[in-house]
Amino acid sequence: MPGRLTTHVLDTANGRPAAGMEMELFGIEKEGRRHLKTVRANDDGRLDAPLLEGEELSAGEYEIVFHVGSYFGDEAGSPPFLDEVPVRFGVSEPESHYHVPLLVSPWSYTTYRGS
């Protein structure tokens, strides 16, 4: 199976997937961030396809920006405590599966390299 980058988002404040949350993927380069794509979580808090797959995924640094404030709306406050949550990570083995989930509430978040 070719390497791939996936994610999912769980709304821990309400105990459900974060359906509809917008995410942006960036490649990190010496010149700065390069926007690769913008996606939204499906009803299961996942994406319908990998963020990157096969030759699209190369060794280097990436960043997923999760739009938490707009997802939680009024529940997050004005201004929201958490608005955009950037998760920057490195890919050293592009032939592997990199899964970067986010568990989030309006006031906290956790991420890890999943499987």
Mean pLDDT of 68-96: 95
- Supply the pLDDT for residue 76: 85
- Whether the pTM exceeds 0.85: the reply is yes
Q: Which amino acid is at 65?
A: V
**pLDDT-derived band at 1, boundaries 50, 70, 90:** confident
Q: Dump pLDDT digits (tens) for 61-73.
A: 999 999 999 999 9
DSSP state of 69: H
Q: What is the pLDDT of residues 5-56, one digit of tens each?
A: 999 999 999 999 999 999 999 999 999 999 999 999 999 999 999 999 999 9
Q: Which residue ranges form the domains of the chain, and what is each CATH number?
A: 4-111 (2.60.40.180)
Q: Which residue type sits at 100?
A: V
**Per-residue confidence (pLDDT) for residue 13, from 0 to 100:** 96
- Cis amide bond preceding 79, omega within 30: yes
Tokens 């996936």 belong to residue:
6
- pLDDT score, position 4: 97
- Specify whether the CB–CB gap between 108 and 102 falls below 8 A: no
